[in-house]
Structure 1
Amino acid sequence: MDPRTSAQDVIRCDLCETAVVQMHCDTCFVNLCKACVGEHISTGETKDHKVVKFQDRKSTPIYPRCPSHAKERCEMYCKQCDIPVCISCLAAKQHLRHELSKVLQIVDDKKDIIRKERNELNETIYPTYQDIASDVQNRMSQLEKEYGDLSTAITIHGEDWHREIDRLVKKLKAEIDEMKNTQIQTLQKHLEEINKKMSDIKKEIDSMEIAIETNDLSKLFRVTSNVHTYRNLPHKIIPLLPKFVPGKIHQEELNKLFGALSPSSLSSDKHGYSMTTTQKSPETGSSPPVKQLLDEPQTVTTIDTSNQYGLYNVACLSDEKIWTSGGDNTMKLFSINQGSLLKSIITKSGNEPCDIAVTKRGDLVYTDYRYRTVNIVKKEKIEEVIRLQNWIPKGVCSTSSGDLLVIMYNNDNKQTKVVRYSGSTEKQTIQFDDKDKPLYSLDSYKKYITENKNLDICVSNWGAKAVVVVNQAGKLRFRYTGHTPAPKNKPFDPQGITTDSQSHILTADDNNHCVHIIDQDGQFLCYIHCGLSFPWGLCTDTNDNLFVTQERNKQVKKIKYLQ
């Protein structure tokens, strides 16, 4: 039997095509038997062959070729120039005094970003487009039914008018059909556009999957992402049906009295859709596993930040790293396990940041009250995202959809509001309740903000001594004003605020040296003490560990409070 043509699953050598493959050249992507290894190495165009066992294929990183030195491969990465560089580039002093890293160190960060964006496409954006497509299809079906009902009503009314009104009935039906067809065609076109984007997203996901799995670093660095274009969801098209207004029978005014259709129209609502979150847990497949509160929360570790001034804010970059800020102009990145300082960033204005947050992409965001700006730190460079006029920003958070929520007050301390931004574009303003009364206290005191898992917007309002919670549309859900008796029997003094996977809302109370935990509907659950002293800033990591800054002793405590 000819092994090259027989039906089998055994992989054969690419050179002799007969022997079973045993080795693999990671440089040339060629499968080899042991006998052909020497021939491959001697006859190949490159001398840089990396031959490994077949089961270890793709284990050798293929460094990018240097565009300036064709025979060199780049094993270093220049952070200032944001490019891989080779030994010859370094010898030529092209990157003198530039900060350098090994390419393999940069690769892990690059893959993490691609994984996050692939997950966002898989778990949020693509499912949202599926829901939108289903919604449009349902509207088209409903249109068919409602236009059919409208046509039937006209037919019944027309039977009373006998032969004289047959022409008018046909005319009005033709108008209905034309209106219906116009709206159906519009929605069909809208559906095709949505399906096209869904197809593009799937291609993007496939491309990212390939990039993550490849060991060809040149291909990896060529990967570009269009995720930001898909975060801007399409407008929601809502067909408005015409109305049929019947009239009394009158021969001379037949056309006028029989009735007429009101014009049909289509409206577009850019906020009509919201992101669908489909991140699955191993236990439920659709929602996070239920975790119970511990009877006795436990301090896992304490990090001494050695801040010269008070310590206020904390934000999780990952389960291993946290950003902090306090009463000076420096934001610091710490390793949680080692407690060591990894990086320091000085604000652009030289002032202390009012608040800090971390975006879904892992970028640091901070608010600057003196410059009236919201800023983002990318690759240690500060970029101004939002500049306000007559308003001063306080708290900031990054939402599940990638928007920024900023709470701010105006110059005369007579107005306070929450504004949602997509990039630098204002999308939503939340300021008053249903009775046109201010939702938040009209003062310049610190206010912190976060988004809950159910998309509620939660504000820690020190001036009002309350946590104010509104839904995604900005409608007031409840105000939490503390629980009696408080641990120190002192008034509720809310500072930092955060949420967890169970939709619990946690807020620091520096007056009573504790953290309050309430559920998503504002019901008090318990206090966290753990020897806290003047707790201020809060954040939680992906495992629901709580991080608490202590203003006066400049420490961050990591606390386990869920099972």
Structure 2
Amino acid sequence: MKATKKLPEAGSSPPVKQLLDEPETVTTIDTEYGQLYNVACLSDEEIWITGNDNTMKLYSINQGSLLQCFTTKSWEWSFEIAVTKSGDLVYTDYRDRTVNIVKNGKIEEVIRLQNWIPSGVYSTSSGDLLVIMDNFDKPAKVVCYSGSTEKQTIQFDDKGKSLYSSVGFRRYITENRNQDICVSEDGAKEIVVVNQAGKLRFRYTGHTPAPKNQPFNPLGITTDSQSHILTADVSNECVHIIDQDGQFLRYIDCELIYPYGLCTDTNDNLFVAQMSNSQVKKIKYMF
């Protein structure tokens, strides 16, 4: 069962929407995971999710039912998932250092790394793959691939300083409408945003006061039609909304419990994978 993921064209102007004063939970989906880490929209009706086992599961949003299930090739849990423009599932596998795609019910290896471990992955509006990867002796880097071919590596700024840290366990990555590349770093406790050429635009290190007065701890990251950047803050159990230039706009706090993975659908509904209670919340936050 596959749908074509609709991505907005970079040059098109979406209808202007406003943030709701009080976001509201539309529905809650119970999953079969002990812990839930990632969510990716296949369509406005279906979502892929992963957790603390070696499966990737497709759920119906409205019915809350399991539609499909795949097991990773290495039998280890995947770090992150994404959906391509054509509706195929992509996942990173830290055990065998690969990026894989699920096509026509079969898993195909797309990228195999040497000395690096893939963490986050995202399928861009142009069909390329962005992969954020770790080497614990070096700063992390983002590599853009066309298929299995490296197109671009982003690791240092204009002064030769590392853009990303060498510490941390989980990194998520996404692309904004203006082709900015946004990476959440749980180790460095910040969001790093570079433009398409890899030039640093800004770092976002949180906002005070925070809902639980805890240090900023970003995990899942996504964007919407208004070029907002949304990131899950697991320590404060909320989602931060910032604009495309890094200015804080507001929090989403819908009684979230350890929010990890995020994604948005074509109607700008937010899906939040909650780690500790194994539920995905669908939240309306714009009109």
Q: TM-score, normalised by structure 1?
A: 0.50
Q: Which residue of 2 aligns with 1:547?
A: 271
Q: 1:414 aligns with which of 106, 121, 138?
A: 138
Compute the RMSD of aligned alpha carbons.
Answer: 1.6
Q: Which residue of 2 aligns with 1:471?
A: 195
Give, in whole Å, the separation in 1 of the partners of 2:250 and 2:188. 21
Helix, strand or coil at the partner of 1:463: coil
Q: Which residue of 2 aligns with 1:455?
A: 179
Task: Kindly indicate which of the two structures has a greater share of residues assigned to strand.
Answer: 2
Give, in whole Å, the separation in 2 of the partners of 1:470 and 1:290. 24
Give, in whole Å, the separation in 1 of the partners of 2:162 and 2:53. 32
Helix, strand or coil at the partner of 1:415: strand
Give, in whole Å, the separation in 1 of the partners of 2:189 and 2:22. 27
Structure 1 position 414, deviation (Å): 2.1
Tell me which amino acid in the other structure corresponds to 2:72.
T
Tell me which amino acid in the other structure corresponds to 2:177.
K
Structure 1 position 413, deviation (Å): 3.1
Q: Which residue of 1 aligns with 2:116?
A: 391
Tell me which amino acid in the other structure corresponds to 2:218.
P
Give, in whole Å, the separation in 1 of the partners of 2:106 and 2:275. 28
Q: 2:55 aligns with which of 330, 355, 372?
A: 330
Tell me which amino acid in the other structure corresponds to 1:538.
L
Q: Which has the higher contact order (CA 8 A, sep 6+)?
A: 2
Alignment of 1:405-444 (within 5 A): 405-410=130-135, 412-444=136-168
Tell me which amino acid in the other structure corresponds to 2:208.
T
Deviations 1:182-220 (A, max 9, x none): xxxxxxxxxxxxxxxxxxxxxxxxxxxxxxxxxxxxxxx
Give, in whole Å, the separation in 1 of the partners of 2:168 and 2:147. 25
Structure 1 position 331, deviation (Å): 0.5
Give structure 2 stretches of 5+ with no counterpart. none
Kindly indicate whether residue 248 of structure 2 is the aligned counterpart of residue 524 of structure 1: yes
Kindly indicate whether residue 220 of structure 2 is the aligned counterpart of residue 484 of structure 1: no
Tell me which amino acid in the other structure corresponds to 1:338.
Q
Q: Which residue of 2 aligns with 1:345?
A: 70
Q: Which residue of 2 aligns with 1:289?
A: 15
Deviations 1:430-469 (A, max 9, x none): 0011111111110251100000001000000111100000
Structure 1 position 545, deviation (Å): 0.2
Give, in whole Å, the separation in 2 of the partners of 1:398 and 1:444. 23
Tell me which amino acid in the other structure corresponds to 1:485.
P
Structure 1 position 358, deviation (Å): 0.3
Structure 1 position 294, deviation (Å): 0.0
Tell me which amino acid in the other structure corresponds to 1:330.
T
Alignment of 1:156-235 (within 5 A): none
- The structure whose Rg is larger is 1
Tell me which amino acid in the other structure corresponds to 1:317.
L
8 Å CA contact retained: 1:413, 1:444: no
Structure 1 position 415, deviation (Å): 2.5
- The runs of 4+ residues in structure 1 deviating greater than 6 Å are none
Task: Kindly indicate which of the two structures has a greater share of residues assigned to helix.
Answer: 1
8 Å CA contact retained: 1:433, 1:475: yes
Tell me which amino acid in the other structure corresponds to 1:435.
K
Give, in whole Å, the separation in 2 of the partners of 1:511 and 1:356. 22
Kindly indicate whether residue 5 of structure 2 is the aligned counterpart of residue 302 of structure 1: no
Give, in whole Å, the separation in 2 of the partners of 1:443 and 1:512. 21
Give structure 1 stretches of 5+ with no counterpart. 1-105, 125-276, 279-285
Structure 1 position 310, deviation (Å): 1.1
Give, in whole Å, the separation in 2 of the partners of 1:539 and 1:439. 24
Tell me which amino acid in the other structure corresponds to 1:407.
I
Q: TM-score, normalised by structure 2?
A: 0.97
Helix, strand or coil at the partner of 1:306: coil
8 Å CA contact retained: 2:173, 2:184: yes
Q: Which residue of 1 aligns with 2:236?
A: 512
Q: 1:326 to 1:332 in 2, by over 3 A?
A: same
8 Å CA contact retained: 2:233, 2:259: yes
Percent of counterpart pairs with the same letter? 74
Number of residue pairs the alignment of both structures matches: 287
Helix, strand or coil at the partner of 1:433: coil
8 Å CA contact retained: 2:80, 2:92: yes
